Amino acid sequence: MDPKAETPQTSARPRMSRRASIIGSLIALLLLAGTGWLAWHLTHPAADTSTPPGRRGAPATTVGVATAERANIPITLEALGTVTPQASVRVRPQVSGVMEKVLFKEGQMVRAGDLLATIDARQFELALMQASGQRQRDEAQLDSARVTLQRFKTLLAQDSIARQEVDSQAALVKQLEGSVVIDKANEGTARLNLGYTRVLAPVSGRVGLRSVDVGNVVNSSDANGIALITQLTPIDVVFAVPQDQAGELQQSAAAGTVMKVTALDRTRSATLDTGVFASLDNQIDVQTGTVKAKARFANTDLALFPNQFVNVRLLLKTLDGAVVVPVTALRHGSNGDYVYVLNSAERTVSLRPVQRGQATVEKIVITSGLAAGERVITEGADRLRDGARVVLPGAPAGAGQRQNAAGAEAPAAAASRPRRRASKAEGA
């Protein structure tokens, strides 16, 4: 074979291999680009970039609305309080003796001055008789000494007696007068001790469990005494107030403002009683940053029990005619608080900066930026922008989509007509 004839074939093979490698590289790049685009398309759903969010062509969002209204908003203070009786007295005997009678029942309601028990009074009666007899004897001696002194003065005027005897008799009269005063004091003490044998209730309230039985010897040093009486009507509740509100409470109390206080049970579901704010302590607890306050309750139904823990709700004041919206209508942004206001004519929303005020569990006061009667968005606001279209509750399903798609359907229909005409012409 001629070597010259093999040369063109041999030189063509490298060119074809280089061309094939270039084509293979291009195909690999295209496949790689197509795979990347497919992955991006699957992880990023297509969006209509022709119309920015919030513009007329964006899909409408179904939202909940509420109307801003005027209402009287109570400003309250919640705290945990302890029921404290106005008086809690441990009844103890004032004299020692044998318990003779117990005239009360455990748990009985008593009034101040009621007889609770009696102590054997015989020794105290005898002591009273002895003191009374001593007083009478000294009074008789005093009367005799006074008569003698008067006689001595008469004789002294006649110059029939020495002045020394008159002075001595006058001193004796004064001595006997002092003895009579002492005797009267001893007699009063004996009478007082005799009265102590009748144990009376010092305050009105409920008697606790009995601490002593009949026949026992009692005295004033007994730790348990005879009984414990706790005053229940009226009764107080002591609770803690934050130091930031202590000044406002002090000013309201000084101005004579009557502040209503409600005592609730542990679950805050039932009202135990209603009272008024009574007083504020004069020092702030540096450990807790609070000051003690006291509220007074009539407790006519005896629903409050001493040392009971209750939830206290203090009505500080009432905001009359405040503009309020539901708590869910208020949004928080980097520039402050705002709400979405519904434009009823266009079915769009507008972002409105507002100033918030006091809040309750369900309502919040708007001090500025919103007027009563305007409608605000309460649900679905997370998906809204300023100027976005919305669908109100109760509107037909798909109404917002049909309304937004109305402008797009007309161009699409116009574009389909030439295609139909062209197909008819090709068939002809």
Same domain, residue pair 178 and 112: yes
- Answer yes or no: is 45 within a domain: no
Between 136 and 382, residue with greater pLDDT: 136
pLDDT band at 11 (very low <50, low <70, confident <90, very high): low
Same domain, residue pair 309 and 353: no
Between 358 and 191, residue with greater pLDDT: 191
Same domain, residue pair 290 and 223: no
E strands, 8-159, where? 61-62, 64-67, 69-85, 88-91, 97-102, 109-110, 115-119
The length of the chain in residues reads 428
Answer yes or no: is pLDDT of 1 > 60. Answer: no
Same domain, residue pair 140 and 202: yes
- Read off the pLDDT of each residue in 24-32 and give the average, rounded to a whole number: 81
Same domain, residue pair 151 and 275: no
Number of domains in the chain: 3
pLDDT at position 47 is: 42
pLDDT at position 397 is: 46
Q: Could you give the CA distance from residue 326 to residue 342 in angstroms, rounded to a whole number?
A: 15
- Which range is least confidently modeled, 6-20, 74-88, 222-236, 381-395? 6-20
- Read off the pLDDT of each residue in 16-44 and give the average, rounded to a whole number: 75
pLDDT at position 376 is: 92
- Answer yes or no: is 401 within a domain: no
Supply the CATH number for residue 130's domain. Answer: 2.40.50.100
Same domain, residue pair 166 and 124: yes
Same domain, residue pair 132 and 225: yes
- For 384-414, the three-class secondary structure string (H helix, E strand, C coil) is CCCCCEEECCCCCCCHHHHHHHHHHHHHHHH
Query: Could you tell me which of 202, 190, 214 has the C-alpha nearest to residue 92?
Result: 202
Answer yes or no: is pLDDT of 410 > 80. Answer: no
Q: What is the CA angle 172-173-176, rounded to 5?
A: 85
Same domain, residue pair 191 and 223: yes
- Answer yes or no: is 211 within a domain: yes
Answer yes or no: is pLDDT of 173 > 90. Answer: yes
Same domain, residue pair 185 and 238: no
- Which range is least confidently modeled, 53-67, 269-283, 289-303, 307-321? 53-67
- Which range is least confidently modeled, 39-48, 125-134, 145-154, 314-323? 39-48
pLDDT at position 308 is: 94
Same domain, residue pair 213 and 106: yes
- Read off the pLDDT of each residue in 203-230 and give the average, rounded to a whole number: 91
Domain boundary residue among 177, 195, 229? 229
- Answer yes or no: is 418 within a domain: no
The average confidence (pLDDT) of the chain is: 83
pLDDT band at 22 (very low <50, low <70, confident <90, very high): confident
pLDDT at position 261 is: 95
Domain boundary residue among 183, 203, 229? 229
- Read off the pLDDT of each residue in 393-420 and give the average, rounded to a whole number: 47
Same domain, residue pair 180 and 193: yes
- Read off the pLDDT of each residue in 194-215 and give the average, rounded to a whole number: 92
- Answer yes or no: is 6 within a domain: no
- Answer yes or no: is 332 within a domain: yes
Domain encompassing residue 340? 61-72+322-394
Supply the CATH number for residue 340's domain. Answer: 2.40.420.20
Same domain, residue pair 254 and 350: no
Answer yes or no: is pLDDT of 359 > 50. Answer: yes
pLDDT at position 23 is: 81
Q: Could you give the CA distance from residue 298 to residue 313 in angstroms, rounded to a whole number?
A: 16
- Which range is least confidently modeled, 80-89, 238-247, 358-367? 358-367
- Answer yes or no: is 17 within a domain: no
What is the per-residue DSSP string for 155-219? HHHTT-S-HHHHHHHHHHHHHHHHHHHHHHHHHHHHHHHHHHTEEE-SS-EEE------TT-EE-
- Read off the pLDDT of each residue in 340-361 and give the average, rounded to a whole number: 87
Domain boundary residue among 274, 296, 320? 320
For residues 114, 119, 122, 123, the Cα torsion angle rounded to the nearest 10 degrees is -120
- Read off the pLDDT of each residue in 77-89 and give the average, rounded to a whole number: 93
pLDDT band at 294 (very low <50, low <70, confident <90, very high): very high
Answer yes or no: is pLDDT of 62 > 70. Answer: yes
- Answer yes or no: is 294 within a domain: yes
Give the largest CA-CA distance in the chain: 201
Supply the CATH number for residue 274's domain. Answer: 2.40.30.170
